[in-house]
Amino acid sequence: MSPNNTNKGKSLALLLLFAMSQAAMAVDSQQKGLEIARAARAYDKGFTDFTANMVMILKNRAGDTAKRFIRIRTLEVEGDGDKSLSIFDEPADVKGTAMLTYAHGLEPDDQWLYLPALKRVKRINSRNKSGPFMGSTFAYEDLGSQEVEKYSYNYLRDEACGEWTCHVLERFPVYEHSGYSRQVVWLDSEAYRMVRTEFFDRKQSPLKTLVAGDYQQFLGHYWRPGTMYMENHQTGQSTLLEWTDYQFKTGLSERDFRSQTLKRVQ
C-alpha cells in the first residue's frame, strides 16, 4: 500500500464520517422539526370550538382595495381535522354564501358551498389547495386546518423574533396539489404562536410572506392573532385579515356543521 493510497483512504473515511454526521444531523433536525410541530398542535388541543369575525382587505399593485366580511365557526374534531364554516356577509352579491369544510390530514378535505341565488348546496372539489381564497393573496391551503401530517419538517435554528424567541423550521407539503415547494415558519418557543411564514413557489422562488400579530389569549391558554398580513412578492398584491369577536366554547356541535344545514345558516 503506497502512502498515497493511505491518504486517499483516510480522506475517504473522513468524507464518509462527515456525510454520516451530516445525515445524522439531518435526521436530528427533521425529528426536532416534527417534534416542534407536534408540540404546537398539542398546545392548541382542547379549544373545543370557536367563532370569530374576519375582515379581509385586499390590495392590488395599483393600491385599489376591496373588502370582504366573513364569519368563521370552527369545531375541533377528535382524531381528524377540524370542521369549519365560513359565512360571507360582504361583498353584497355573495351575501348568504356559506362554505363548509371537513378538514382531513393527507386525504383531501370534504367541502360544500351554499349558493343562495340558486338555493343550492354544491359539493365542491377541495383539491384546489393552491387557488386564491376570495381573490385574496391567501390560498385555501393557507387558511385550512394545519394538521401535523400535512408536512415534513426540518428544524433550522432558534432566534429572536421581536420580544420572543422563535423556533425557525422549514416545512414541506406532502399533500397533493400544493402551490408551494416549502415554507419557513417562525413559531415562538413559549406558546407556538406563528409570527411569520415565508412561502416558496414550486420553482423554489420566494412567493409570499405572512406576518401575524396582535395575539390575544383566550380561556387563559389559547392564542389567536388579531391581524394576519400576507404579501405576494410576485404580483405586488397584499391582503390584511383583521380578526375580531373571538369566542371559545360557544356550544357548537356536529349538528351545526352538516352540509344540509348550510341552507339555514344565519
Partner 1 sequence: MRRLAFWLMLLPGCGNALAEFSGNVAAEAVTFPDDPQFDGQFDNDLSFSFQPRWDGQWNDGDDQWSVELFTRQGSKDEGRDHNDVRELLWLHVDGDNEWRVGINTMFWGVAESQHLVDVVNQIDAVENIDREEKLGQPMIHLKRYQEWGVLDFLLLPYFRERTFHDKPGRLREPLVVDTDATEYQSSAEEYHIDYALRFSNTYDDLDIGISWFQGTRRDPLLFPGIDDRGEPVLIPYYEQMKQLGVDAQLLYGDWIWRLEMIHRNADSGTANAFVYGFEYTFYGVMDSVADIGAIVEYSYDDAPEGQRGAFDRDVFIGARFAFNDAQSSEILAGFLVDTSNHGRSFRVEASRRIGTSWKLELELQTFANIDEVDQSAAFADASEGGFAADPQASFANDSYLLVDMAYYF
Could you tell me which residues come within 8 angstroms of residue 127 by beta carbon, excluding any fewer than 6 positions away?
108, 176, 177
Q: Minimum CB separation from partner 1 for residue 254, in Å?
A: 10
Do the beta carbons of residue 113 and residue 101 sit within 8 Å?
A: no
Nearer to partner 1, 58 or 212 (CB): 58
Q: Minimum CB separation from partner 1 for residue 132, in Å?
A: 5
Do the beta carbons of residue 85 and residue 79 sit within 8 Å?
A: no
Q: Minimum CB separation from partner 1 for residue 185, in Å?
A: 23
Q: How many Å apart are CA 19 and CA 65, to the nearest integer?
A: 52
Q: Minimum CB separation from partner 1 for residue 20, in Å?
A: 40
Q: Minimum CB separation from partner 1 for residue 246, in Å?
A: 19
Nearer to partner 1, 33 or 96 (CB): 96
Please classify residue 189 by burial: count the beta carbons closer than 10 Å to its beta carbon, then call 0-12 exposed, 13-18 middle and 19+ buried.
middle
Residues near partner 1, by CB under 8 A = 58, 60, 66-67, 90-96, 110, 118-121, 123, 125, 127-128, 130-132, 134-136, 177, 179, 255, 258-261, 264, 266
Nearer to partner 1, 70 or 134 (CB): 134
Q: How many Å apart are CA 181 and CA 199, to the nearest integer?
A: 8
Nearer to partner 1, 91 or 162 (CB): 91
Nearer to partner 1, 95 or 221 (CB): 95
97 closest CA partner among 119, 67, 79, 81: 119
